[in-house]
Chain A
Amino acid sequence: MTTHPTPALISRYASGGAVVDDTTIWAVEAHLETCAACRAVLADAVDPGTQNLLDRVADGIASGIAAGPAPVRRHRLRRTGVAARVLPWLVTATGLMLAAALFEWTFDSLPSLVLLVAPVAPLLPVAAVWSRRVDPAWELTATMPRTGLPLLMRRTLGVLSAVMPVLAVAGWVTGHSPGLWLLPVLGFTAGTLALGTVVGVDRAALALALTWCAGVVAPSLADGRLPAILTGNSLPGWALTTVALTAVVLMQARRRPHLLNTTSSQGRMERS
Chain B
Amino acid sequence: MMRTVSVAETAPSTYPWAVHTEKLQVRAGRHLAVNELDLRLGTGVHGLLGPNGAGKTTLMRALATVLKPAGGRLTLLGGEVTGNADLRQVRRGLGYLPQHFGFYPRFTVREFVEYIAWLKEMPKAAIPGAVQRAVERVGLTDRADSRMKTLSGGMLRRAGIAQAIVNDPAVLLLDEPTVGLDPEQRLDFRELLREIGLDSCILVSTHLVEDVAVACSDVVLISEGRLVWQGTTGQLTEQGGAGDAGDSATERGYSSLLRAYRGRVSA
Q: Please list the residues of chain A having a beta carbon within 8 angstroms of any beta carbon in chain B.
A: 72, 75, 78-79, 81-82, 84-85, 135-148, 151, 256-258, 261, 266-267, 269-271
Contact = CB atoms under 8 A, between A and B. Distances in A.
Q: Give the one of A78, A85, A138 with max B CB within 10 A.
A: A78
Contacts of B92: 145
17 contacts: A72-B110, A75-B111, A81-B104, A81-B115, A81-B119, A82-B104, A140-B96, A143-B91, A143-B96, A145-B121, A146-B120, A148-B88, A258-B86, A261-B68, A266-B68, A269-B68, A270-B61
Main DSSP-derived SS at the A contact region:
loop
Contacts of A84: 104, 106
Interface size class of B (residues with CB under 8 A): 35 or more
B91 A136 contact: no
Q: Give the one of B27, B28, B87, B92 with max A CB within 10 A.
A: B87
A145 B91 contact: yes
Contacts of A142: 65-66
A241 B128 CA distance: 44
Given A136-B104, A139-B102, A269 B28 contact: yes
Contact of A146 (B89, B94, B103, B118): B118
A78 B64 contact: no
Contacts of B70: 269
Interface of B: 27-29, 61, 64-68, 70, 84, 86-89, 91-92, 94, 96, 98, 100-107, 110-111, 114-116, 118-121, 128, 145, 163
A139 B115 contact: no
Main DSSP-derived SS at the B contact region:
loop
A85 B102 CA distance: 13
A266 B82 CA distance: 12
A163 to B, nearest CB: 22
A46 B196 CA distance: 41
A145 B119 contact: yes
B100 A139 contact: yes
Q: Give the one of A72, A79, A137, A145 with max B CB within 10 A.
A: A145
A78 B111 contact: yes
Nearest to B33: A269
A143 B66 contact: yes
A143 B115 contact: no
B86 A270 contact: no
B163 to A, nearest CB: 7
A78 B115 CA distance: 9
